[in-house]
């Protein structure tokens, strides 16, 4: 499963990219607002940090407006992935862009039927929001399982990009189901490293090493 980080904080992205675990980045208008920087500038910087897809979201709601914004965004770098909402105009834009060879991430997916439509429109990625789905009493992981079944039934090339990831269990369950990608905030990715027995083991080894009185180098 590919790991994307969901942030517009370039310092966080740089640090995580150094681990070799980062395959891409997702951003959205809220994350850009939080970063407090110029949209185009920050997208260009992120694209220089990671070679994988960097999702940059249009804000227009009509097809013509989305296409105008997408034309600007896809000139920023070769690895820009245009992010569009799962609406009729969004899917019209997805079809037009994907037919022209541009990567498209269709976002705000909350049903398997919506995911089916996005795949038929040629989306590179579909972003089902599992955390938000859970928030309103639905099973986010069941949504991922349903999409996986449908895509496998018809051999769609669209990758399932699990979004709105809230905790490490979401990552684990997504991997078990066979999602192609997950995107999570930096804190969730860092939490994947944590286990009390790992920390306990390190402390035990260090204590025993100190008793030897030795140094390396």
Q: How far apart are CA 27 and CA 48, in angstroms?
A: 15
Q: How far apart are CA 94 and CA 58, in angstroms?
A: 11
Contact (CB, 8 A) for 27 and 8: yes
Q: How far apart are CA 135 and CA 105, in angstroms?
A: 23
Beta bridge partners of 55: 26, 81
Contact (CB, 8 A) for 93 and 103: no
DSSP string, 25-63: EE--HHHHHHHTS-HHHHHHHHHHH-SS-EEEE----SH
Share of the chain residues as helix, strand and coil, in percent rounded to the nearest 5: 50, 20, 30
Catalytic residue ranges: 83
Helix (H, G, I), strand (E, B) or coil at 177: helix
Helix (H, G, I), strand (E, B) or coil at 180: coil
Return the C-alpha torsion angle 202, 204, 207, 213, nearest 10.
-80
């Amino acid at each position: 499963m590919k790991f994307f980080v969901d942030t517009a904080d370039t310092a966080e992205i740089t640090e995580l990219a150094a681990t070799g675990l980062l395959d891409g980045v997702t951003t959205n208008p809220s994350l850009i607002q939080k970063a407090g920087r110029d949209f185009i500038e920050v997208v260009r910087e992120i694209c220089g940090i990671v070679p994988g897809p960097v999702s940059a979201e249009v804000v227009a709601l009509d097809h013509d407006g989305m296409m105008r914004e997408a034309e600007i965004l896809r000139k920023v770098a070769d690895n820009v992935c245009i992010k569009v909402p799962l609406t009729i105009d969004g899917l019209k834009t997805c079809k037009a862009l994907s037919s022209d060879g541009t990567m498209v991430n269709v976002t705000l997916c909350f049903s398997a039927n919506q995911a089916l439509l996005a795949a038929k429109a040629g989306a590179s990625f579909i972003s089902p929001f599992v955390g938000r789905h859970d928030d309103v009493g639905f099973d986010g992981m069941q949504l991922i399982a349903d999409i996986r079944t449908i895509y496998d039934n018809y051999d769609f090339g669209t990758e399932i990009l699990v979004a709105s990831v809230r905790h490490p269990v979401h990552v684990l369950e997504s991997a078990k189901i066979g999602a192609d990608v997950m995107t999570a905030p930096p804190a969730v990715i860092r939490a994947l490293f944590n286990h009390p027995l790992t920390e306990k083991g390190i402390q035990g080894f260090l204590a025993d090493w100190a008793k030897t009185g030795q140094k390396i180098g």
